[in-house]
Amino acid sequence: MLSGKTIVLGVCGGIAAYKAAALCSKLTQAGADVRVIMTESAAKFVAPLTFQTLSRNPVAIDTFDEKDPSVVAHIDLADRADLFLIAPATANMIAKIALGLGDDMLSTTALATTAPIFIAPAMNVHMYANPAVQHNMRILAERGVRFVEPGTGQLACGYVGKGRLAEPEQIAEAVAAFFRGGRPLAGKRVLVTAGATVERIDPVRYLTNDSSGKMGYVIAAAAAAMGADVTLITGKATAPLPGGVRTVRVESAAQMLDAVLDRLDGQDIVIKAAAVADYRPAQTFEQKIKKTEEEMTLKLVKNPDILQAIGERKTRQLVIGFAAETHRVEEFALDKLRRKRCDLLVANDVTEPGAGFGIDTNIVRIFDANGLVEALPLMSKREVAERLLALAASRLERERE
């Protein structure tokens, strides 16, 4: 899978640098052309000769150590990379990349590359939980940087907690999975709802919510990239429409329900990511309501439940719902999944930094009828979409066998 791929492996200073040697070996054995960049601190933990021997390529450390006069070393490495991987990544390196600082060979090359960037953090548990570190990781995730989450256990400093570098096998698999990509949804029909519904009070006023449509839009885009024939039914949204999908615009919950049920037959996967208003005004006024009294009472009636309607009418479709919660996430998610006959339900706590409306990241937990399937850490919404769709594709494949 990695044959012919150039992977630039950045190694930062920390005791976990010894694991990077095993990672380098695994990537090389998988066929990758591994080019290692070490920080000066990393070279105090593991000798550059180790990586040179394992990768069969020279190791870069000093920005000004230009061995080939025909190229600028850090630009050449940045341009060669099919993937840029930093493992282990220290809090310092994460901060430098987030701030756009380039004061050594690794950070300078990272700034210059246009390749996808993967970061595998490794640090003390309290450093990892520090708000500044979490903020920097959130910034990078919003820019599309992918993280290989650290493990939990005994740390070299003596603490027990989250912060140990992911195992080399796990990191190598994340890299391989990225390149596998492929088109696992080729020939499948996917329907996605996204955005917020609008419930009119009068011609100038309405009830709605804060959904930007980003999660649903990246799901639609990712499904198309995986080969699916995608129909996107969208309410109000601020995110740019994805290309390569069939788009149906609606306004109210009733309109979205009709659009979904009209297209439900023949779909393989239905993903209901839209934020649909639970209630609508009992009366919609044809003209603007004028301000008269000190108080105004607005009577609301319940909207049709689109997800429940899908669950009741589904035949062979794999139905995926979403639940945005503020507390008791698992309890409410499992209850919603069972009541509405979903096959999978994606839940998040919108009060968590990095998991709310209108941003490019999310932190989600995916459930099925048996409970938690997978907990995804802070990552870009595109990564969440890709993981969710890969899970859906594997379930469709399993049902076919």
Residue identified by tokens 């006023």 is: 205
Considering its fold, how many domains does the chain have in total?
2
Q: What is the pLDDT of residue 138?
A: 83
Domain that holds residue 241: 189-400
Domain final position from 159, 180, 201: 180
Residues 203 and 164 in one domain: no
CATH of the domain at 34: 3.40.50.1950
134-171: per-residue pLDDT in tens?
A: 899 888 887 878 888 888 777 877 888 888 898 999 89
Q: Are strands 151-154 and 160-164 parallel, antiparallel or unpaired?
A: antiparallel
CB 120 within 8 A of CB 89: yes
CATH of the domain at 246: 3.40.50.10300
Residues 26 and 91 in one domain: yes
Residues 21 and 108 in one domain: yes
Residues 207 and 267 in one domain: yes
Residues 268 and 194 in one domain: yes
Residues 165 and 195 in one domain: no
| Angstrom distance (rounded) from CA 165 to CA 163 | 6
H runs (alpha helix) in 166-275: 168-180, 214-225, 253-263
102-143: per-residue pLDDT in tens?
A: 999 999 999 999 998 999 999 999 999 999 998 998 888 878
Parts of the chain with a pLDDT under 70: 181-182, 400-401
The 8-class DSSP code of residue 12 comes to -
Residues 53 and 146 in one domain: yes
1 lies in some domain = no
Q: What is the pLDDT of residue 401?
A: 55
Domain final position from 180, 215, 248: 180
Q: What is the pLDDT of residue 235?
A: 97
Helix, strand or coil for residue 110? helix
Amino acid letter for position 264? L
Tell me how far the alpha carbon of residue 386 is from its chain's centroid.
7
Residues 232 and 284 in one domain: yes
Q: What is the pLDDT of residue 400?
A: 63
Domain final position from 151, 180, 209: 180
Q: What is the pLDDT of residue 191?
A: 98
Active site residue 12: no
Residues 290 and 396 in one domain: yes
Q: What is the pLDDT of residue 143?
A: 80
Write down the catalytic residue from 12, 24, 157, 342: 157
Dihedral of alpha carbons 359, 360, 366, 372, sign: negative
